[in-house]
Chains A and B, each alone.
Chain A
């Protein structure tokens, strides 16, 4: 199975900050990497697919980059409504696997 390692597991940032989350795959997954946002008590919501493609309707402050084994997710200008846990997920192979999540809080 492909292991996905996210870091950090949690972070605290101020409104307006740039927030960066990394995700490392245990083997080359090309660009087959998604990012999801999950707010407490809610279902996950797809933000980024194919490493860097934004899902329609996703605010432009959310972006993704990377390929191979190393990926980055960025929030440019953190807003209070961005408080959530963010997950990466690979779809290069089965089983689909997720990172352990990064909990983003406001400082």
Chain B
């Protein structure tokens, strides 16, 4: 069974950092691009970042560019999101989502999400 599971969320103050992790199981992790998608409380979905299977291609939303860094460790079946200089507007549930192998941008498996709260 394909599964992805996030961890690492929590309460931090503005300007602080946090690192999210996502572990994939039940599939060949290195063959899939992976993504972070977030959802602010009561709001819609916002794509945050993508990384190709090899890690060679990385993309960010303008809202996080320069502050967030996506990475992966295929030996550990793990995806990461390093979040620096956090702002109140980064408060959201962060989901890890797998791309279909044949078409990037189709998010076919999602984790349960991890909540990040940025507040003083």
Contact = CB atoms under 8 A, between A and B. Distances in A.
Given A43-B95, A43-B111, A91 B45 contact: no
Contacts of A34: 105-107
Interface residues of B, number: 22
A71 interface: no
Interface in B29-57: 35, 37, 44-47, 50
Given A98-B44, A98-B47, A91 B104 contact: yes
Contacts of A90: 105
A43 B113 contact: yes
B59 interface: yes
Main secondary structure, interface of A, reads loop
Interface of A: 32, 34, 36, 38, 42-46, 49-50, 55, 87, 89-92, 94-101
Nearest to B59: A94
B88 interface: no
A44 B35 CA distance: 13
A32 B104 CA distance: 10
From B37, B100, B105, name the one whose CB has the most chain A CB atoms within 10 angstroms: B105
Interface in B96-118: 100, 103-108, 110-113
Interface of B: 35, 37, 44-47, 50, 59, 61-62, 95, 100, 103-108, 110-113
A57 B76 CA distance: 29
Contact of B106 (A43, A87, A91, A101): A91
A46 to B, nearest CB: 5
B105 A32 contact: yes
A29 B66 CA distance: 28
Nearest to A56: B108
Contacts of B104: 91
Contact of A43 (B44, B50, B112): B112
23 contacts: A36-B45, A43-B95, A43-B112, A44-B45, A44-B95, A46-B106, A46-B107, A46-B108, A55-B108, A87-B45, A89-B107, A90-B105, A91-B103, A91-B105, A94-B50, A94-B59, A95-B59, A96-B35, A96-B47, A98-B46, A98-B47, A100-B44, A101-B45
